[in-house]
Each structure stands twice: as C-alpha cells, then as structure tokens.
Structure 1
C-alpha cells in the first residue's frame, strides 16, 4: 500500500498527515478506518452506536473474520465528533442507508473537505435530493470499490477490441445467509424493505455496467419478493436495458448457490468475461480461442479498498473521467444518483 503522507500538505517544512473521520462503527466503517490507517492517515472512528464483534461481510458469498479498526485509529464520542468533521480532509459515511444523506450533509456543512459516502447514496433518488441540491454536492464521492479492481480496469481498456454492437450479461448471485454466518440474515439491513433488497445492496453491478457501456434506458424489470428467504425486501431482480452501444441483461439475487458474479460481453470480434470470484478476465477471439489473465490482488479486499481510498484523497470528484478510472477512484455523486434512478425505475415498472 502506498502512503497517503506522500501527497499531504506541507507546513513549516514538515508533512501533515491526511485527516479522515469515519462516521459509523459497523463492519464496513471499521474496515474503512483500518485501511486509511494502514495508508498513513490520521483516522478517527465516530460510531453511531456500540457494535458487538462479529464477522464482516465481504460481499456476495464471501465473509472474513472481524478485524479491529487497527493501530493509529482513535474513537470519538458525540461530544468530539462535530469538531472532527470540520477539520477532516475526508469524511467516510458508513452509517445505515436511511441516514446516509443526513450524515453526508452534516459533514459538508461542518466544513469537511470531501465526503466518501457508502452505497447506495440513499434509499431512493427522491430521498437523495437534499444532498443533490447541496451547494457542495461536487465534493461527494460514492463508494464503488469494483472500479478499483485491476481486472475491471483491464476490462475497460480492452473492451474496444471486441467491437460493437455489444450484448452483455451482468450477474451477482449468491446465498444471503452465507454473507454473515454468525448473524441471522433477517436482522440485517439487506432484509429491510426500506433500506435493503438486491437493487440497493448490489448497486455496484449497475454502477460498473454504466462505466463500461454507458447510460442505460430501462426496457423491463422483474422483482421477486417471494422465494426461499424469509424477508420483505426483494430477493431477486432481473433487468433488461439498452445503451448507445449495447443491450444488457442483469440478474441480481440473494438465492443462488454457488456464488456467481461477473459480466460477459459479446461483440462481433469476440468476447470478454470478468469473473469476480476468481479475479480473472477471459478473452475469446472470433474463432473461440481463449486467453485468461489473473488478477490475484483483487481477492484481497483491503488492497482494493486502499486503491479506492488513495484515489478519494488524491483526486477530486471533478477530476477528468479517464484519470478517475485509471486511479480506481469512487463514483461521483452524479453517477451514484444515476444508479438510484435506474433502481427506482425498476421498482416502478416491475
């Protein structure tokens, strides 16, 4: 991991370490705090409420043991938190989805230089309006760690080689109870109809598909609320959309074993497949000959999040699009809101 102090401010000839406040002390907040701390930042963790130790979810079908927030990370209480926001170079908002907007607005109003908001930005596009209309909305990142995968950046670079028009199938299918084996999935945010469900939980797939293929026009959607899981939020969603360059099908669900996650893209000159479970990209030419490249670093979630973290501090959301993609930067607020609009449309027409 590179050190954030390399690009820190310099005062009186000495470096000043980047100041990061992580709002929310759950598993994802603790991971953000640890990763920024490992990069050399001065990290303050400001929990919303005490959290018991548990396993942490690494996403669909993957779980890892719980970790502490790490050395160099100090914890704030509510008396010290507001002042820390004002002095922060970056505030990471990793609270419950229903309070994302309020916590992001509070950080901006306090004077934080930038905000990195966990996905999704809000439960719906309408709920995000106070943040979208904020005079400092341009200082907000939306977490999108799949963009920081080396395999994804490889895919983005080589996509033109298979030609156009394209057909793509995006998939993220797993078994929700496996995400956090020591916790009843019915008690998780994923099962809540107002904060969870696959459209909100797996919105990263919609984000990277838009980066690869352009802004979608939704043609059809089917959401499934019934199935093997005892929960109110949707257990599965199947979407169909088109862009200027592609027709896309997308399957998101909590009800599949074994896990499958990735995208397959077909064009007149061959195909590309990104398999997230194996961290590989396979290229097939027009005759079917296959070449596979592996990106094992993508299997280390902390390394991927460190790439995103570094970019979130080094760049601004207004940086050039190509520069952001090369660095593995998060999504901009505008991009994050676009995926919320797609989710809202899917709920409307399903």
Structure 2
C-alpha cells in the first residue's frame, strides 16, 4: 500500500456505503487526499489494490486505519448505531475535525457520550440542505418577516424508489432502532429550526403500520411552536408517490415557498406580486455536498452562526442532537397516543 500523505489535506472516510463513497468522491473533487476505510475489512496487502475503484480514494484497512485518523479530517459514514463510537475513536486518535453523517445518533441519549467528550466542539453533523443556495436565500427572506406566521415543512416519498436496485427491506431505514422517517428525514427538522427558531413540540402522530410492512415508522406528522413566533407543522413519510419536498411559510408579510426538488423559491407579497428564483446548482447533489465540504474544511463549529450558515456549513453537534431530541419526543408522544386511543376508536 502507499504510504500516508501529508496530513494537511488528508480526509479519512469511515464507511464505504453509498454515502461514504459520495463523500470520498466529493472531497477528492475539492482537492483533498482522500482515504477510504471500509467497515468490512477487505484484507489489503499483497496483490490487493490500494485504490478504491468506485471513488479513486486510497484504501485503508483495520491495521492502517487507526493511525490514519491522526490530524485528518474524518467523515463518519457508518451505520447510525456506530456513529458515536466511530466519532469518539477519531477524536481520541487525534483527528483535526469530524463530520458525522445524519442522524448523529439513534437517540439524543446515545449521543450523550459524544457531547461529553472534551473535543465535542470539533464535531460537525452533516446537513447538506443548509448548503443549498435556495435555502440560504429563503432564510434571508424569512429574516425579513417581522410578525411571525405559520409554516408547513414536508418530505414525502416512496421508500422502494430510494435505491431501486436494492430491496428496501434490507436497508437500515426499516430497522426500528436505527431507521424510520424521523431519523432518515431529520434534515427537515434541522433546517426548520434554523429558519424558524428552536422548537417546542406540541403534538405528534406516528404511523408504524402502512403499505411498506416494516417495523420502523413509515410516517410522522409533528406540530411545534418556535422561539421566533412561528407555528410549524412537518410531514415526513416513506409512502407517497411521486416524491415531493419543500416548505411554505404564510405570514402577514406574504407567502414564501421553497420547492426543494425544483430548486425554486417563490415570494408572494401581500399585494399578490410574485417573484421567483431558480438555483440551478442545487440540482446537482455533488455541487451541494461540495459546498458543505469546503465549509466544513475551512470553518469550525465554533465560528459565528451567520458565517457558518452563509457558507453552507454542516450543523454543529449541539444542533444535531437537538434535532434528534425533537424526533425522540415525537416518537414518545406518538407512542403515548397509540397506547391511549380516542374513546370512539375503542372496541
């Protein structure tokens, strides 16, 4: 195998699934020297290749991976149940910064050990929707609303369409301890709290049954009040075709809409005048993740929030845990409602 390069631009991606490979490819496009450390040891050595064919990244194994973490920028793209342990391993090994894929953990309680780590302020949590130009434009428009309002956030799709070449029942999404829409679609919770302020959950409805025949929740509807004076509803599900994703904000100062799939932001004034902007770069996922990668490499989670958001940086660890905590609360509230049905629903 090749010797390790200078650590200045070294990125180690832990996990070689689809998202790990995308991170490896994007960071290479950003000029980093990328090393991919699969969870399943490929037994490198001898005549084995030292480059990953899919991404062009250098390959590590369990004998070389731990040493490569020191002074590197580390991306944790393993299964959710491993996120905390893999992030702590990287910090303990001397990683310069760590970017953890979403969700940061299966629950806020599981993230406690990472939050208590002496170097927890060196941890990012992936949040690529923050890197969309349309999102940043929408945030500026929301910031001009003086009197609050209401918002509806949604991400609705059909889980079998996510990876058509793979049986969805074999994915982590169906595992009740790691998957479900609240964890899978936590990005919506994250960006909504950036737009509208910290959330206080008021209600939740969770659907564990449905057409997919899986144990994890297939749909969730949340209602919360925000610190900035907005009433917010969120609908997340795996059971809708065709896929649709976006947010609409109603206020005395007009209506704002973000069509995520169309990369389009529309502003309707109180007088009915409509202004629409399309952000073509948002349609290329690698460009969006490249913006997140650059921000994560050059900024720190402790930098001013406005600078981080303006640059498309990931979420901080505290932000990532807050989003998971809201999901935990929704799941618990939904479970209580299932356990105590309305009198009319009782036999």
Residue in structure 2 matching 1:87, options 51, 65, 71: 71
The answer to which of 158-167 and 128-137 deviates more is: 158-167
- The residue that corresponds to 1:309 in the other structure is 293
The answer to which of 283-292 and 36-45 deviates more is: 283-292
How far residue 69 of structure 1 moved from its aligned partner, in angstroms, is 4.2
Asked if 1:299 corresponds to 2:283, the answer is: yes
Question: How far apart, CA to CA, are the structure 2 residues paired with 1:144 and 1:158?
Answer: 20
Aligned length: 319
Question: How far apart, CA to CA, are the structure 1 residues paired with 2:7 and 2:59?
Answer: 20
How far residue 229 of structure 1 moved from its aligned partner, in angstroms, is 0.4
How far residue 189 of structure 1 moved from its aligned partner, in angstroms, is 0.6
Asked if 1:169 corresponds to 2:152, the answer is: yes
Q: TM-score, normalised by structure 2?
A: 0.90
SS in 1 for 2:240: strand
Q: 1:39-91 CA deviation, whole Å, 9 max, x = no partner?
A: 1101100000279xxxxxxxxxxxxxxx95433x1010110000001131x10
Question: How far apart, CA to CA, are the structure 2 residues paired with 1:122 and 1:306?
Answer: 24
Question: How far apart, CA to CA, are the structure 1 residues paired with 2:162 and 2:204?
Answer: 25
Residue in structure 2 matching 1:70, options 55, 58, 64: 55
SS in 2 for 1:239: strand
Residue in structure 1 matching 2:223, options 232, 240, 258: 240
Question: How far apart, CA to CA, are the structure 2 residues paired with 1:303 and 1:243?
Answer: 31
Structure 1 segment 251-266 matched on structure 2, within 5 A: 251-266=235-250
How far residue 269 of structure 1 moved from its aligned partner, in angstroms, is 1.1
Q: CA contact under 8 A between 1:171 and 1:251: conserved in structure 2?
A: yes
Question: How far apart, CA to CA, are the structure 1 residues paired with 2:302 and 2:317?
Answer: 10
Question: How far apart, CA to CA, are the structure 1 residues paired with 2:144 and 2:301?
Answer: 29
Residue in structure 1 matching 2:166, options 165, 183, 199: 183
Question: How far apart, CA to CA, are the structure 1 residues paired with 2:8 and 2:23?
Answer: 17
- The residue that corresponds to 1:18 in the other structure is 9
- The residue that corresponds to 2:83 in the other structure is 100
- The residue that corresponds to 2:129 in the other structure is 146
Structure 1 segment 266-285 matched on structure 2, within 5 A: 266-285=250-269
Q: CA contact under 8 A between 1:162 and 1:266: conserved in structure 2?
A: no
Residue in structure 1 matching 2:180, options 188, 197, 217: 197
- The residue that corresponds to 1:9 in the other structure is none
- The residue that corresponds to 1:41 in the other structure is 32
Q: CA contact under 8 A between 2:101 and 2:125: conserved in structure 1?
A: yes
Q: Cα RMSD over matched residues?
A: 1.4
User: Structure 2 regions of 5+ residues with no counterpart?
Assistant: 1-5, 43-51, 335-347
- The residue that corresponds to 1:8 in the other structure is none
CA 1:28–1:68 in 2, change beyond 3 Å: closer, same or farther?
A: farther
Asked if 1:342 corresponds to 2:326, the answer is: yes
Q: Which runs of 4+ in 1 moved over 2 A?
A: 67-71, 160-163
Q: TM-score, normalised by structure 1?
A: 0.89
How far residue 161 of structure 1 moved from its aligned partner, in angstroms, is 3.2
How far residue 289 of structure 1 moved from its aligned partner, in angstroms, is 2.2
Structure 1 segment 109-124 matched on structure 2, within 5 A: 109-124=92-107
How far residue 162 of structure 1 moved from its aligned partner, in angstroms, is 3.8
- The residue that corresponds to 1:6 in the other structure is none
CA 1:239–1:179 in 2, change beyond 3 Å: closer, same or farther?
A: same
- The residue that corresponds to 2:20 in the other structure is 29
Question: How far apart, CA to CA, are the structure 2 residues paired with 1:83 and 1:256?
Answer: 45
